[in-house]
Amino acid sequence: MKSAKSIVVRIVGLLCLAGIAVAMLIDPMGEARRERRIKEVLLLVQEGLQRYHVQEEIYPKRAMKGGELVAFLHENSHLEDSIVNPWGGGVYHGGNDVDRMAYETDALAESYELTVRYLHSKKIRFRLDSTENQSLE
């Protein structure tokens, strides 16, 4: 017959293995959820840019960080709702929030590019523009 100490050691070992397995699953699920939120925000901003373009016949003329662009489009009624910052979790605006999205346009404001970069990197994670990358697929 096994001792009570042996059974406790086995149970603790199994609980540790289960904890490690859960931890290994949580991070990829969280990353997938964050990626989905980033794509949703990009598509909402793209829709706002399209509405702006239809009304003004050009895109916004200056480069902006994502929060600035969201605030600009919201102030001009081209975004219907406040957007949640996919990196910070709060309302997305031009403050000191974590912001990896950037907007750029050409000299005549006839085209645009929205990019999202990896943290601490210049490598582009997602790109939407009015010419080549009109979709995230």
- pLDDT tens profile 58-99: 999 999 999 899 999 999 899 877 788 888 778 887 666 678
Query: Residue 85 has what DSSP assignment?
Result: P
Name the packing angle between helices 66-75 and 4-56 (round to 10°).
50
Distance separating alpha carbons of residues 128 and 14, to the nearest angstrom: 46
Domain count, the chain: 1
pTM for the full predicted model? 0.75
Average pLDDT over residues 10-30: 77
Confirm whether 109 is domain-assigned: yes
Q: Is position 73 within any domain?
A: yes
- Whether residue 112 is contained in a domain is answered as yes
Q: Looking at the domain assignment, is residue 85 inside a domain?
A: yes
Beta-strand relationship, 112-117 and 124-129: antiparallel
* Res 6: pLDDT: 82
90 falls within a domain = yes
Residue 115 lies in a domain: yes
In percent, the amount of the chain with pLDDT more than 90 equals 34
- 103 belongs to a structural domain: yes
- DSSP strand E in 2-86: where? 64-65
46 falls within a domain = yes
Cα four-point dihedral sign 27, 28, 29, 34: positive
Which among 17, 82, 10, 18 is positioned nearest to 45, based on CA atoms? 82
Owning domain of residue 124: 33-129
pLDDT tens for each residue of 103-120:
999 999 999 999 999 887
